[in-house]
Amino acid sequence: MRPLLKWGFLAGFWGAILLGGFLAWHAYQLPDIHDLDRYTRPGSVSMTAAEGAMFASYGPLHGEPVTVAEMSPHLPAAVIAIEDRRFPSHFGIDPIGLARAMWVNLRAGRVVQGGSTLTQQLAKNVFLTHDRSISRKVRELLLALWLERSFSKDEILSIYLNRVYFGAGAYGVDAAARKYFSKTARDLTLGEAALLAGMLKGPSRYSPAANAERARNRTAVVLGALAEIGYIDRETARKIAADPYRLRGPVGRGAGHRYFSDWIYDQVPSFVGTRADDLAIATTLDLRLQTAAERAVAQGLAEGKTVGVRQAALVALDPRTGAVRAMVGGASFRDSQFNRAVQALRQPGSVFKPVVFLAALEDGWKPDDLINDTPVTVSGWSPRNFDSRYDGVITLTEALAESRNAATIRLQESVGRGRVRDIARRLGFTEELTPGPSLGLGVDEMSPLDLAGLYATFANGGRPVTPHGIEEIRAGAGATLYRRSTSGLPGQVSQRAAGALTAMLSETIARGTGRKAALDRPVAGKTGTSQNHRDAWFAGYTADLVAVVWVGNDDGTPMQKVTGGGLPAEIFRIFMEAAHQGLPRRPLTGTDARNLAERPTPD
């Protein structure tokens, strides 16, 4: 026995030395763990709508740090119940949990359960990589022991929940609460907390955006775990599992808003330069109007398939400030990120004609003045009316309402093309316009956003505005980097002329080409169709909102006789009816409300 004891002692002694050296070597390789806030991360950009709800983010989104005491009590309970039930009592490593996991894995013949504690997960997520080496596991255990020695259980859980990934680019529970539910971590319900806790097992796999059914099933599992530890009873778990949450954040809104948010994101460097810190952008978007716009465009495109319409765009803005309230840049953002509301330049056709008539009104013409709608030739060019019919002597109001090309060109030549181009510049259109006689028929390419800016001036009584989507940009630390101070442009249009033009455009809807855009309140607008039916437009406004609709095809393929008074006017009406629900009827600026267009009474 003596030799056996001797060699046993020597083996144990040298084994202890080797183990100590092994641990010392890994301890030496540990990162600096005395300052958890030292670790840097890339900056993010988050966007809030006009009502304050976050609707989009770019880059990894990190929310406001919250302690366990500050967050909803349901969340820590759910996380402990599903991830680490002995967290309050173990010392960073759970031997019982490890033994249980080993037994389950042996019986299954594969790894189906892990034995890591929340403390170990924090050590791995904050300091280490996710490789499966023995060296990484040893360092993870050492870090877990250090964390338990240095922090209280609540502090460890707080740090973990403020840093863990919840999918959809959200890091930390507060970012996740805003991303999925448009609320803070303080306000999470039990069902919402159960969803987030369940996602920790696999943020992408159990995300409601990736698989709604799988996410709900996982939430039910977490609620069952809460019942097992006595946090709730089984009947409560069953009831909540039947309807655990409603997605209200960016994750639950689909991709329709991305046309607007990408437009905003691209502008940020021009306001604050390139920055590495977090940015919070307060935008002008109205989420209710955005939803209404997406639905109106989707409904219009569904109807337009039979007549060769594959794309559409809609822009709505506040005529008083130029704030963009809704933007749809195409049929599907997932299929095409090209923003037709901003980037597509198309011929506006007759939607541009009001600029000609505004120039005439400023020059002294009146809505009831007469003009010849008869064939006209200018510099060898002879425009034809859309229907090849001529009405003879008509008023300016009739010429605009019926969109008579010959009368419009005759009026343009009377007031001068230079005056028309000058009016367009004062309205905010900065691109060079054609000097030729076809100017008044809208041959110069414009975007829906450009036209919305022009029509906002008509709508507000002659004060040009700049269409915009950013109200304020703040740094992550709270400092204001940019705040919009004005919406107006230096130019000015005669209020009398703008009011007279609005009255004329209301006649376009009452008895002209825009009848399908009639609403239950005063509304003015204009139809437009480019050559060969490649583009069809409707631009119109009430006292509260301007909206421009375009339909067509990206490759310029002609549609089947689609005009601005057809599908675009219908999309405009569908959107504006939804947008004005609950709003009082108000007269158009600068006009007599008794003479304005309303929905015609059926015969």
83, 398, 402, 570: which one is catalytic?
Answer: 83
Beta bridge partners of 474: 280, 480
Please name the residues in contact with 122: beta carbons below 8 A apart, sequence gap of 6 or more. 144, 147, 156, 159, 160, 163
72, 350, 447, 506: which one is catalytic?
Answer: 350
Q: What is the DSSP letter of 381?
A: B
CA 379/CA 435 separation, integer angstroms:
12
Are 565 and 515 in contact by the 8 Å Cβ rule? The answer is yes
Structure tokens at 14: 């040298």
Are 509 and 547 in contact by the 8 Å Cβ rule? The answer is no
Structure tokens at 146: 């250090």
Active site residue 350: yes
Place of tokens 């001036």: 457
Structure tokens at 256: 């329709």
Phi/psi at 465 (nearest 5 deg)? -130, 160
CA 220/CA 228 separation, integer angstroms:
12
**Helix, strand, coil percent values for the chain (each to nearest 5):** 45, 15, 40
The DSSP result for 538-557, as a single string, is EEEE-SS-EEEEEEE-TT-P
Kindly give the interhelix angle for 118-127 and 153-163, rounded to the nearest 10 degrees. 50
Active site residue 388: no
Please name the residues in contact with 85: beta carbons below 8 A apart, sequence gap of 6 or more. 229
The residue type at 342: V
Please name the residues in contact with 267: beta carbons below 8 A apart, sequence gap of 6 or more. 469, 470
Structure tokens at 344: 């597509």
Kindly give the interhelix angle for 417-426 and 353-362, rounded to the nearest 10 degrees. 100
CA 177/CA 122 separation, integer angstroms:
20
Count other Cβ atoms within 10 Å, centred on residue 421.
Answer: 19
Instruction: Name the 3-class secondary structure at 326.
Output: strand
The residue type at 502: T
Structure tokens at 187: 């306000």
CA 504/CA 448 separation, integer angstroms:
22
Tell me the chain's radius of gyration from C-alpha atoms: 33
Catalytic residues: 83, 350
